[in-house]
Amino acid sequence: MADRPSSTGSPLPPPDPAVAAAAADRLAGLATPAGALGRLGDLAVWLSATQGQVPPDPLTDVRLVIFAGDHGVARHGVSAYPPEITGAMVRTFVAGRAGVSALAAAHDVSVRVLDLGVDDDLEDLAPEVRARKVRRSSGPIHLEDALTAEETRQALEAGRAIADEEIDGGAQLLLSGDMGIGNTTPAAALVAAALGLPAAEVTGRGTGVDDATWQHKVGVIQQALDRAGDRVLDPVATLTALGSADLAATTGYLVRAAERGVPVLLDGLMSVACALTADRLAPGAAAWFAAGHRSTEPAQTFALAKLGLEPVLDLGLRLGEGSGAVAAVPVLRSAVAVLRDVALLADLLPPE
Ligand SMILES: O=C(O)c1ccc[n+]([C@@H]2O[C@H](COP(=O)([O-])O)[C@@H](O)[C@H]2O)c1
Ligand SMILES: Cc1cc2nc[nH]c2cc1C
């Protein structure tokens, strides 16, 4: 696959390599056969390095932010559901009754939902939910730009500020989630743009479109890519042409978490498409990301491969909302527990 160049920035520093080496030493010395902890061991080493300490602290403050927005393209026959669902689901997150709400309650993850571009004023909700709103919906990307350059800047900045708020509030691990009917179309376009792939390879079934709708969706994504032209060489211009306020904000949130040295657990297609964009904007950011799960969307698998991330779970999920990331949190907590609490083999054996 033909890679696109990154546009800006010197590489971000990775999680501390010396701490990673010390964590790997401790892992190797645990009272388990060598390698027996498999990927739990890898995750424990990564978490140690992100925290800069061995063993890592237990994950008691895990926070999900759901970035919500509508997409002009959703009025052009690319989804199995109408755009009115987006605002209704934002109200459902606030009420704590969505799929992700149940998972988050089960796994002690806090949930914050923010309207970046929902095509509904949501005036019945608390002003905090709307405080970062950039606009109502986005331009239909096959016909016009999703955003203006100024709106993209504003949304990226909003995402950065949201990450700062959560980190300053004590987050040890951040999760990103999405809500927006039609959003698998711009997210797949972002991945195609970053990786130089044709629409037919990245297009998935989203909420469950039939064959004819899938074929139409491929055409819409290819038209959007052709319309964007060379702007796909620049990640910010790509967000303006093909993204949306919620996807740009998610990207800013991920970049800022990596800059602040706070680990992120990614979710499905939207989260991972934004992680790919974040790593284009701030090369090295991906070292701060882990993949919660593999979504059924093909574009997510391409983006994960490019980022070098192996998902923790593979459950056939395609809900979005941050659900796959939240479902993976107990696995990360398990990784921390083994590196903290398992005895050292050397301590079990009588001294020679
Ligand atoms: O996270 C994923 O990979 C994922 C895959 C398919 C669908 N979704 C969710 O479904 C909505 C987008 O699907 P669609 O068909 O409307 O583009 C949006 O609200 C997402 O949260 C999410
Ligand atoms: C009901 C519903 C809930 C969702 N959550 C994320 N995307 C969604 C799409 C629909 C249609």
**Which of 285, 346, 272, 331 minimizes the C-alpha distance to 13?**
285
- Give yes or no for residue 7 having a pLDDT over 50: no
Where residue 256 falls among pLDDT bands split at 50, 70, 90?
very high
How far apart are the CA of 26 and the centre of ligand 2, in A?
43
How far apart are the CA of 285 and the centre of ligand 2, in A?
29
Nearest ligand atom owner, CA of 79 = 1
Mean of pLDDT over the chain: 97
- Give yes or no for residue 146 having a pLDDT over 90: yes
Asked if 17-56+338-348 and 62-330 have one fold, the answer is no
ipTM above threshold 0.95: yes
What percent of the chain is predicted at pLDDT more than 90? 96
Topology of domain 17-56+338-348 in CATH is 1.10.1610
Calculate mean pLDDT across residues 48-67: 98
How far apart are the CA of 58 and the centre of ligand 1, in A?
31
Where residue 9 falls among pLDDT bands split at 50, 70, 90?
low
**Token representation of residue 313:** 């779970």
How far apart are the CA of 35 and the centre of ligand 2, in A?
40
DSSP line for 61-72: -EEEEEEEE--G
Beta strands in 238-326 (DSSP E): 264-266, 289-291
All structural domains of the chain with their residue ranges: 17-56+338-348, 62-330
φ, ψ for residue 39, nearest 5 deg: -70, -20
Q: Which CATH architecture does the domain made up of 62-330 adopt? A: 3-Layer(aba) Sandwich (3.40)
pLDDT of residue 351: 79
- Give yes or no for residue 352 having a pLDDT over 80: no
φ, ψ for residue 299, nearest 5 deg: -60, -35
**Which of 124, 112, 349, 149 minimizes the C-alpha distance to 250?**
112
Which atom in ligand 1 lies closest to the alpha carbon of residue 208? 15
- Give yes or no for residue 1 having a pLDDT over 80: no
Question: Is residue 259 flagged as an active site residue?
Answer: no
Where residue 350 falls among pLDDT bands split at 50, 70, 90?
confident
- Give yes or no for residue 5 having a pLDDT over 70: no
The owner of tokens 């950065």 is 160
Pocket test for ligand 1, best of 71, 181, 205, 207 (most atoms within 8 A of CB): 207
- Give yes or no for residue 4 having a pLDDT over 70: no
Pocket test for ligand 1, best of 85, 86, 183 (most atoms within 8 A of CB): 183
Answer yes or no: is the C-beta of 207 below 6 A from any ligand 1 atom.
yes
Q: CA separation (Å) from 130 to 43, 81, 121, 123?
A: 35, 23, 8, 8
C-alpha 241/C-alpha 117 separation (Å) is 16
pLDDT tens, position by position, 263-315: 999 999 999 999 999 999 999 999 999 999 999 999 999 999 999 999 999 99
Burial (CB < 10 A; 0-12, 13-18, 19+), residue 25, is exposed
Nearest CA to ligand 2 atom 11: 81
